[in-house]
Structure 1
């Protein structure tokens, strides 16, 4: 019989690439991970790892076993969900991950609703960049995550993660509002929003930190327009980004949730680029009553946030 905990280690080795990385993810020593993988190989009765220099690679049998491991781990999540549904009431810790611009916009009303309807839940929020969400879900550091990508920088589907669509947002080019129209991106008479990025070829850019999804998107948008962005500043908070734009420090990309209250000295040019937000959770966990409650609360809070203001 194959040990599920060892299967999880093999799955993570396929994902992370090194035994040292797996050890860090599970707070084990590298020696302990190696011993567990060796025991799994004995259980399997076939070679699973090949030593290549100081590292290891998976054999074809191990790669096939990883695919089965994903299915097995998802089935265990589903079984846990079934048992949880048989209990009365919702309780326990719920770890929710969110990207920065969702925390002050979509999340507060959802947290209020969850706390009101399920007071025994212990709600804990962690702000993360989307690139870190899948690993945090897989490792159990998160139970639910607000996770996004962009149509110009789509994220590959993760076999260990399921999700439901929540929101599509338009992305804007944020530019200083001063100056004559002919000098402003997208502001030429008869100009199209599609021309806006090309007109920033010689502008200074404000982008996210290297390695973040926002940084990748800014680079790709400029590359699609035929140039490399001249980066002057790195900032990950859209309030800070817009303040820098207002101070004449450069131009930037800002999605709708990050541009709810732009400074008066900033003009927002709509682009044909969209950010796509999903509610993500471990594969198989969608039927868990806590996950279902979080999904329902986030969907409701998003509808309320997007609803037009009531007429007085």
Structure 2
């Protein structure tokens, strides 16, 4: 009988790429991870890892085993959800991106706290690009993820998503003008590696130029403050433009940002996660016209 804990380590190695990264994510030592994977190889009777110096690669047999592992973990999550008490208690960990904290998260957790006082709510603010790993390592239970027209969502094995909100993207500048008018201007974008940064680069490239990014900021309040001070232009979604300075001109673009709810496969019907999904969806549905 294969050990689910060892299978999970193999799954994490497939996603994270190195034994060190797996160890850091799951609070193991690298040697402990290596030992467990070696033991899994003995249990299966087939090579799972190809070692080249300090690096390892998964064999075709290992990749097939990872696919089965995703299904096994989803079944176990579903079984746990079915066994969970209908009285909502315990910890519920929710991950959100910054612009959703005030507009979507706050009314949702107020409703959850009122309707289910036995829930211990914990909120983590993080970039949507970090959400899949956080859900897989179970440091989050439900979270918000995003995609832009130019940065589509990547299907993540072991995770399930559902639509929550769609927004218009705006060009934020001190004067109105088409996107091409800002090809030689300085730009303000998110930190490299974030979806916002990738969207800025790809949207400009699709228009025929590479943006000259002068400043990096992940909070749209900071982006708008820099922009209002004449430090560049930027793309800002509806949620980020709620408190735009009066001097900022927002030009709607035919580009959309879509937000989805994400959770581990098999957990959607867990009473606590089901309640969170409902509260977050209600909060999104109550957004002003033009935001939902």
Verify same fold: TM over 0.5: yes
Contact in 1 for aligned 2:224/2:245 (Cα 8 Å)? yes
Q: 1:47-69: per-residue Cα shift (whole Å, max 9, x none)?
A: 11111122111111111100000
| 2:285 corresponding residue in structure 1 | 303
| 2:113 corresponding residue in structure 1 | 115
Q: 1:307 to 1:250 in 2, by over 3 A?
A: closer
Which residues of structure 1 form unaligned runs of 5+? 178-183, 186-195
Q: 1:96-145: per-residue Cα shift (whole Å, max 9, x none)?
A: 00001000111111001000010010111100001000000000010010
| 2:266 corresponding residue in structure 1 | 284
Q: Which of structures 1 and 2 has the bigger CA Rg? A: 1
CA distance in 2, matches of 1:263, 1:61: 57
Query: Of 174, 189, 202, which residue of structure 2 is paired with 1:207?
Result: 189
| 2:152 corresponding residue in structure 1 | 154
Q: TM-score, normalised by structure 1?
A: 0.91
- Note if 1:271 corresponds to 2:269: no
CA distance in 2, matches of 1:24, 1:254: 34
- Note if 1:23 corresponds to 2:14: no
CA distance in 1, matches of 2:82, 2:5: 21
- Note if 1:218 corresponds to 2:187: no
- 2:102 counterpart SS class: coil
Query: Of 149, 159, 176, which residue of structure 1 is paired with 2:174?
Result: 176
- Note if 1:228 corresponds to 2:210: yes
- 1:306 counterpart SS class: coil
How far 1:226 moved relative to its partner? 1.2
CA distance in 1, matches of 2:15, 2:190: 25
Q: 1:183-206: per-residue Cα shift (whole Å, max 9, x none)?
A: x42xxxxxxxxxx22111111101
Contact in 2 for aligned 1:197/1:221 (Cα 8 Å)? no
CA distance in 2, matches of 1:119, 1:275: 33
CA distance in 2, matches of 1:260, 1:126: 22
Query: Of 256, 259, 271, which residue of structure 1 is paired with 2:238?
Result: 256
CA distance in 2, matches of 1:49, 1:245: 50
Contact in 2 for aligned 1:171/1:271 (Cα 8 Å)? yes
CA distance in 2, matches of 1:306, 1:60: 50
How far 1:307 moved relative to its partner? 5.4
| 1:73 corresponding residue in structure 2 | 73
Q: TM-score, normalised by structure 2?
A: 0.97
CA distance in 2, matches of 1:116, 1:93: 15
Q: CA RMSD in A?
A: 1.1
CA distance in 1, matches of 2:68, 2:60: 13
- Note if 1:93 corresponds to 2:91: yes
